[in-house]
Amino acid sequence: MIRGRRTSLFALLLLAACDRRPQAILMCHNSNCAHATDPAADDTLASLEDSLALTYLGRPPIDGVEIDTLWDSERSLCLFAHDFDKPVDELAMDAVDRVTEHMLGAGAITWDGVAFRVKIESKAAVTPGGADHSADDLAAHQACVLDMVDRLLEAAVAGDRELEILLEGEDIQFVRSLTAHSRWPGKDPGEGLAIRLEANVKSAGLAPDDLVSLTGGDKPDGIDVLAFHSTRFPDGQQQAYEALDVDLMLWMLDASLETFYAAEVYHPEYVNTSEAVLLRRWMED
Amino acid sequence: MGRKLVSLAIAIGVMGVRPAQAEPAVFGGIDVRTDLGTQWMRAGAAVEIGRLSFDAIVDPYGYWTREQHDSEVLAGWALWPAGWSLMGGWRVSSLPLLGTRYYQEKAILGLAAPLSALPLRHLRARIGFEWAVTLVRHGPDLPTFWLWQEDELHGGSFNLGLVLRLEAGGAL
């Protein structure tokens, strides 16, 4: 009898020791994790609302959303879009308003019960032809992003929510210069509030000394989070990312074997995906 | 594609074993694999002297694209004539990272066997199973990590591969 109990206890300990699926912070890619396989639904207010309303096992499956901003230099508009092909104009600030309404509501707004995360990604092109920011474009686009940040921070305080904002630019210079702006609130703008700088491994101009992990944690314009995409290519590249000792964000359009593999092997801090519900089910399986 | 070729090689392999190579021989050909440790196809050359073999494998596609490329040397000892060989070697992976290049130095251990039944006399095929472990990662302005310095040994430090080599050549 005692021997049997010991065997059961041993089996339980073995089960407890087994590695669980990675428990990453799950972000809603392009504000669209309600219509995952429909890229036309990316970066639309309707999809954002649907995504914020998702539930799984009685709580939100996501921990945050991504809002893309695109500066239209010809019309001086700060758009909620990832390119100029979007058929209707929707403003980035309107997307922020949907998020702040959500934050001001009652009940849980994240799966992990911690901070709500908003990733703001600023696109590099300012015309349909792909022109880069002029000095005026950069000033206007950054003012738009800082307006978004201000409104999100205000809502977090008003709603008594913890909030983490991740700022990314396709061009690393956009993020670097943002931290030198007179309106820059700093990486720690208040209790329960945080702003983190993010770069994609493909960001133009990214260098080793941009990473806080390689230069010391107090670098004010240092990159805190590095985003990467996993596809069926040799995996040495991804092995190298983990050696940088920086928080990783795995991003994907649709889930694939490679992305699940990368999530299991490289344990990213964040997963940014349109397949958020699928990923949540997989993580909890 | 690599997986299909390796499966085909296994099917061919069960049909027989190539006769032992009595004289020194040289071969050149392609190296395909099922896993993501390297590009799925690379090029290689081999020298065989009795039961001893030396392989050099290069990565033309990786060099051309400037993405990840992997170069390696292997030495093998046939456990019996024309039979399974114990292989050991070294692979250097080079990849672009943050505007510079990062290098991963890997030790390789594996088994390889010649296959037969290819219709032409100067063609041969070999199949191999290999295990590669990243011993050190280094690069300009990037951190150097030895295997024992890793905070946590992820699956990414190890790589298990199933390899097929298709080669042409013969005795010198």
* Interchain CB distance below 8 Å, A264 and B155: yes
Are A250 and A266 in contact by the 8 Å Cβ rule? The answer is yes
pLDDT of residue A12: 45
Cα A126 to Cα A136: distance, rounded to the nearest angstrom = 11
Determine how β-strand B69-78 pairs with β-strand A77-80.
unpaired
Chain A contact set for B36 (CB, 8 A): 232-235, 258
**A205 and B CB contact within 8 Å:** yes
> How far A261 CA sits from the closest chain B CA (Å)?
10
Ranges of residues in chain A with a pLDDT under 50 are: 1-18
User: Alpha-carbon distance A81 to A91, whole Å?
Assistant: 8
**The pLDDT value given to residue B3:** 53
Q: Is the pLDDT reported for residue B158 higher than 70? A: yes
Q: Closest Cα of chain A to B137: distance in Å?
A: 8
- Provide the 10 A C-beta neighbour count for residue A167: 26
Nearest chain B residue to A262, by CA? B156
> Token digits for B129?
């199973």
Q: Is the pLDDT of residue B67 over 80?
A: yes
Q: Which residues of A touch B70 (CB under 8 A)?
A: 234, 236
CB contact under 8 A, A208 and B93: no
Q: What is the pLDDT of residue A5?
A: 43
CATH of the domain at B120: 2.40.160
CA closest to B98 among chain A residues: A207
Give how far A188 is from chain B: nearest CA, Å. 26
Instruction: Please list every residue in chain A whose beta carbon sits closer than 8 Å to the beta carbon of residue B93.
Output: 234, 236
Interface with B, mutate which of A237, A238, A248 (most B CBs under 10 A): A237
Residue A87: other Cβ atoms inside 10 A: 6
CB contact under 8 A, B155 and A265: yes
pLDDT at B15: 42
Tell me the average pLDDT across B151-165. 78
Cβ contact, residue pair B36, A209, below 8 Å: no
* Predicted pLDDT of residue A265: 81
Name the residue among A197, A206, A208, A126 with its Cα closest to residue A171: A206
Task: Judge whether A214 is closer than 8 Å to chain B, CB to CB.
Answer: yes
Angle at CA of residue A204, ends A63 and B60, nearest 5°: 105
**Model-level ipTM above the cut of 0.85:** no
Contacts of B147 in chain A (CB under 8 A): none
For CA atoms A258, A261, A263, A267, give the dihedral sign. Answer: negative
Q: Mean pLDDT, to the nearest integer, of B72-97? A: 94
Tokens standing for residue A53: 């309303």
Q: Give the closest-approach CA distance of A237 to chain B in angstroms.
A: 6
Q: How far is B74 from chain A (nearest CA, A)?
A: 20
Query: Which residue has tokens 């594609």?
Result: B1
Helix H or strand E encompassing B85: strand B85-97
Range of the domain at B83: 2-171
pLDDT at B126: 93
**Contact A216/B at CB under 8 A:** no
Look up residue A86 and give its amino acid: K
Per-residue tokens: B27: 């071969």
Domains present along chain A, CATH in parentheses: 21-284 (3.20.20.190)
- pLDDT 10s digits, A227-260: 998 876 788 888 888 778 889 999 987 788 888 8
Smallest CA–CA distance, residue B31 to chain A, in Å, is 15
**Is 90 exceeded by the pLDDT of residue B133?**
yes
Tens digits of residue pLDDT in B17-45? 445 556 899 999 999 998 888 999 999 99
Q: How many domains does chain B have?
A: 1
Cβ-proximal residues to A18 (8 Å cutoff; 6+ apart), any chain: none
Of A206, A214, A242, the CB nearest to B156: A242
Q: What average pLDDT does range B97-109 have in this prediction?
A: 94
Looking at the predicted structure, is the pLDDT value of residue B4 above 70? no
| pLDDT, mean of residues B122-141 | 92
Tell me the nearest-neighbour CA distance from B170 into chain A, angstroms. 32
Chain B residues in contact with chain A using a Cβ-Cβ cutoff of 8 Å:
36-39, 62, 67-68, 70, 93, 95-100, 102, 104, 134, 137, 141-143, 145, 151, 154-157, 159
- Mean pLDDT score across all residues of chain B: 85
Residue A256 pLDDT: 82
Task: Return the number of CB contacts < 8 Å for A and B.
Answer: 84
Q: Which residues of B touch A234 (CB under 8 A)?
A: 36-39, 62, 67-68, 70, 93, 95
